């Protein structure tokens, strides 16, 4: 067994079986173990190297799978002829697996309340759809999405958001990130896009990935900065007017009028209105969509079921102005909808039978209670912590009066098992504000978790409760 006198390091982080596999493989590649040489039995090699037979079996099994040795019935293992391929000589590296952190409290703004989803209703509808389909959903449907779902979306948008459209103006896709590239390709490639800054990071990357020039436009408490937009060469403005992400600001009535006037000033200008979480407004009735005010066909409306139903559903929709519809049908004539028809039919029935509106009402009340709990707990730490963006949506922004930087606040929270996000991370210019601002989502946490999480978060930041008047 001299040929197999390998140096195996039992203290190494690399498993023993893998060390043995690497040593034998390299010996075969280098010719130290010649072709058709019989290898020791698993028992003999295990005894010789003072390791378990299972370890040898794992190493031999991997070598057999890769063709370096073969197992001959009732004879044993034999080395095989190996072609001199370049990849054989490359060092073997372990794949880099991102660190998985189990947070005790996750204030991710993308989370929803999964425990309140109407699973029994969804399951029943799925069965009904399958029972009544007669195999129809095995075939490709309309390239813009099934008619029944587009009809239900059109009806819902008119009743809840004031959006006026026909079903044939609606395109259904598997997420904003799938619809936006279609839209970008539809518009003239020489147009310049403008996006809110800070803003939704995915949108920024979509423009650059499709070789479209884009510029950040700053925002304030009233939404996108119109003076900056008007002074820029931007042709298409991407905005989140009902609840700006991530600051939570709402585009004021004056700015809405200015933005629509800006769009109509030149024929090539458009507004992309992302209405991603407009269903959840707590201080007043929902603000009508910008599209409902558009009389010139300049607003392209985009929304999704990610927050209202579930992120994993992967159904979003886009309402094209009639001026773009003909070109869309011509450009994407041979495309198929990227959303499975079964999912489309279940959502359509969920909406048609009134389950969607009832679900939204329940979730609106639930998220309002969570928001009230969150703001009540944060109020205990005022004025060191100031809240903004609480009128709608499923996250708020904290402005923290501290000597610590935003990065330090996030790291301290992480060390305490708490996940929060810095507003700085959504800013393409990475400009520092006088006071750090932290994005806090509350959708995925129970009220008790919100209470405990906020108190532990403040403790990690060394922020104390304000003194009550009775203690003065």
Q: pLDDT-derived band of residue 284, with 50, 70 and 90 as boundaries?
A: low
94 in a domain, yes or no? Answer: no
Is the whole-model pTM more than 0.85?
Answer: no
* 20 or 392, which is more confident: 20
CA angle 32, 34, 38 (to 5 degrees): 110
Higher pLDDT, 58 or 431: 58
Q: Long-range contact list for 42-48, CB < 8 A, 24+ apart?
A: 44/1, 45/1, 45/4, 48/1, 48/4
Q: Residue 211: which domain range?
A: 117-357
Look at the chain and report how many structural domains it folds into: 3
pLDDT at 70 over 80: yes
The answer on 208 and 63 residing in a single domain is: no
Which pLDDT score is estimated for 410? Answer: 95
Q: Identify the weakest region by mean pLDDT among 7-16, 83-92, 250-259, 400-409.
A: 83-92
Among 104-113, 196-205, 308-317, 386-395, the range scoring the smallest mean pLDDT is 196-205
For residues 176 and 317, membership in a common domain is answered with yes
Of the chain, the end-to-end C-alpha distance in Å amounts to 85
Q: Which of 60, 131, 187 is nearest to 346 (CA)?
A: 131
Cα 122 from Cα 132, distance rounded (Å): 15
55 and 76 assigned to the same domain = yes
Q: Which of 201-205, 403-407, 439-443 has the lowest mean pLDDT?
A: 201-205
Q: Give me the pLDDT at residue 92, please.
A: 54
pLDDT at 259 (0 to 100):
96
pLDDT(31) > 90: no
Q: Give the tens place of pLDDT for each residue, 240-252.
A: 998 888 888 888 8
Length of the chain: 472
Q: What is the pLDDT of residue 428?
A: 80
In a domain, 99, yes or no: no
* Percentage of the chain lying above the pLDDT 90 cut: 57
pLDDT given for residue 365 in this prediction: 93
- Looking at the fold, whether 188 and 326 belong to one and the same domain comes out as yes
pLDDT tens by residue, 293-340: 999 999 999 999 998 999 888 999 999 999 899 999 988 878 888 899
Give pLDDT, residue 83.
Answer: 62
Highest mean pLDDT among 8-12, 226-230, 393-397: 226-230
Three-state SS sequence of the chain: CHHHCCCCCCCCCCCHHHHHHHHHHHHHHHCCCCCCCEECCHHHHHHHHCCCHHHHHHHHHHHHHHCCEEEECCCEEEECCCCCCHHHHCCCCCCCCCCCCCCCEECCCCCCCHHHCCHHHHHHHHHHHHHHHCCHHHCCCCCCCCHHHHHHHHHHHHHHHCCCCCHHHEEEECCHHHHHHHHHHHCCCCCCEEEEECCCHHHHHHHHHCCCCEEEEEEECCEECHHHHHHCCCCEEEECCCCCCCCCCCCCHHHHHHHHHHHHCCCCCEEEEECCCCCCECCCCCCCCHHHHCCCCCEEEEEECCCCCCHHHCCEEEECCHHHHHHHHHHCCCCCCCCCHHHHHHHHHHHHCCHHHHHHHHHHHHHHHHHHHHHHHHHCCCCCEEEECCCECCEEEEEECCCCCHHHHHHHHHHCCEECEEHHHHCCCCCCCCCCEEEEECCCCCHHHHHHHHHHHHHHCCCCCCCCHHHC
Q: Please indicate, yes or no, if residue 178 is contained in any of the structural domains.
A: yes
Range with the poorest average pLDDT among 119-123, 208-212, 230-234, 360-364:
208-212
The residue out of 357, 388, 404 marking a domain boundary is 357
Domain membership of residue 230 (yes or no) is yes
Same domain? For 280 and 375 the reply is no
The predicted model gives 124-153 an average pLDDT of: 89
**Could you tell me the CATH number of the domain that includes residue 26?**
1.10.10.10
In a domain, residue 98? The reply is: no
Mean pLDDT of 128-153: 88
Is residue 100 assigned to a domain? Answer: no
Please give the average per-residue pLDDT across 143-162, as a whole number. 94
Please tell me the predicted confidence (pLDDT) of residue 140: 83
Claim to verify: residue 298 and residue 328 sit in the same structural domain: yes
In percent, the amount of the chain with pLDDT more than 70 equals 93
Residues 344 and 236 in one domain: yes
Q: How confident is the model at residue 362 (pLDDT cuts 50, 70, 90)?
A: very high
Say how far apart CA 72 and CA 63 lie, in whole Å. 14
Which pLDDT value is given to residue 471?
44
> Which residues make Cβ contacts (< 8 Å) with residue 14, sequence separation at least 6?
none
How big is the chain by its Cα radius of gyration, in Å? 30
Q: Residue 299: which CATH number?
A: 3.40.640.10
Among residues 340, 357, 374, the one where a domain terminates is 357
Give residues with Cβ within 8 angstroms of 378, minimum separation 6.
385, 387, 396, 398, 454
The answer to whether residue 34 sits within a structural domain is yes
For residue 153, what pLDDT is reported? 96
**pLDDT of the residue at 397:** 93
Residue 309 and residue 192 share a domain = yes
What pLDDT sits at residue 93? 58
Q: Looking at the predicted structure, is the pLDDT value of residue 186 above 70? A: yes
Whether 313 and 179 map to the same domain: the answer is yes
Average pLDDT of span 344-356: 96
Q: Is the pLDDT of residue 97 over 80?
A: no
**Does 149 score more than 60 pLDDT?**
yes
CA dist list (Å): 219 to 53, 380, 440, 469: 66, 29, 19, 37
One domain, residues 149 and 257? yes
Among 322, 357, 392, the domain-final residue is 357
- Residue 107 binned pLDDT confidence (cut-offs 50, 70, 90): very high
Q: Tell me whether residue 381 is in a domain.
A: yes
Triad 366, 466, 438: Cα angle to 5°: 55
User: Residue 96 — pLDDT band, cuts 50, 70, 90?
Assistant: low
CATH number at residue 430: 3.90.1150.10
In this structure, the answer to whether residues 249 and 397 fall within a common structural domain is: no
Q: Are residues 343 and 388 in the same domain?
A: no
pLDDT of residue 403: 92
């Amino acid at each position: 067994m001299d040929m197999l006198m390998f140096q195996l390091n039992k203290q190494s982080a690399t498993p023993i079986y893998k060390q043995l596999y690497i040593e034998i493989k390299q010996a075969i590649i280098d010719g130290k173990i010649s072709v058709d040489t019989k290898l020791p039995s698993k028992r003999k090699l295990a005894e010789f190297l003072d390791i378990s037979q299972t370890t040898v079996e794992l190493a031999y099994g991997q070598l057999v799978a890769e063709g370096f040795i073969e197992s001959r019935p009732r004879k044993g293992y034999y080395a095989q002829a190996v072609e001199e391929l370049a990849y054989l000589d490359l060092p073997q590296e372990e794949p880099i697996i991102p660190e998985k952190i189990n947070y005790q409290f996750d204030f991710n703004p993308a989370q929803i309340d999964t425990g309140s989803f109407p699973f029994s209703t969804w399951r029943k509808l799925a069965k009904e759809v399958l029972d009544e389909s007669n195999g129809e959903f095995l075939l490709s449907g309309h390239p813009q999405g099934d008619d029944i779902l587009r009809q239900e979306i059109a009806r819902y948008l008119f009743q809840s958001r004031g959006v006026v459209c026909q079903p044939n103006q609606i395109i259904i896709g598997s997420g904003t990130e799938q619809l936006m590239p279609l839209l970008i390709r539809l518009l003239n490639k020489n147009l310049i896009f403008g996006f809110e800054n800070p803003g939704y990071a995915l949108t920024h990357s979509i423009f650059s990935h499709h070789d479209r020039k884009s510029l950040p436009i700053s925002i304030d408490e009233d939404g996108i900065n119109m003076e900056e937009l008007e002074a820029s060469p931007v042709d298409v403005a991407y905005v989140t007017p009902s609840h700006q992400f991530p600051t939570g600001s709402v585009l004021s009535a004056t700015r809405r009028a200015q933005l629509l006037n800006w769009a109509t000033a030149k024929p090539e200008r458009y507004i992309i209105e992302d209405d991603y979480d407009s269903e959840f407004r707590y201080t007043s009735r929902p603000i009508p969509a910008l599209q409902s005010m558009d009389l010139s066909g300049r607003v392209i409306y985009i929304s999704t079921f990610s927050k209202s139903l579930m992120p994993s559903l992967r159904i979003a929709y886009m309402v094209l102005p009639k001026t773009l519809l003909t070109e869309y049908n011509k450009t994407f004539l041979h495309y198929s909808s990227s959303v499975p028809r079964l999912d489309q039919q279940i959502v359509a029935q969920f909406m048609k039978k009134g389950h969607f509106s009832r679900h939204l009402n329940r979730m609106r009340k639930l998220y309002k209670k969570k928001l009230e709990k969150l703001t009540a707990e944060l109020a205990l730490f005022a004025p060191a912590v100031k809240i903004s963006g609480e009128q709608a949506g499923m996250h708020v922004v904290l402005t923290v009066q501290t000597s610590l930087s935003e990065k330090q606040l996030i790291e301290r929270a992480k060390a305490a098992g708490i996940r929060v996000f810095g507003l700085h991370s959504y800013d393409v210019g990475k400009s520092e504000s006088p006071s750090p601002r932290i994005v806090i989502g509350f959708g995925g946490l129970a009220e008790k978790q919100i209470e405990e999480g906020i108190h532990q978060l403040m403790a990690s930041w060394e922020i104390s409760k304000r003194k009550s008047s009775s203690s003065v």
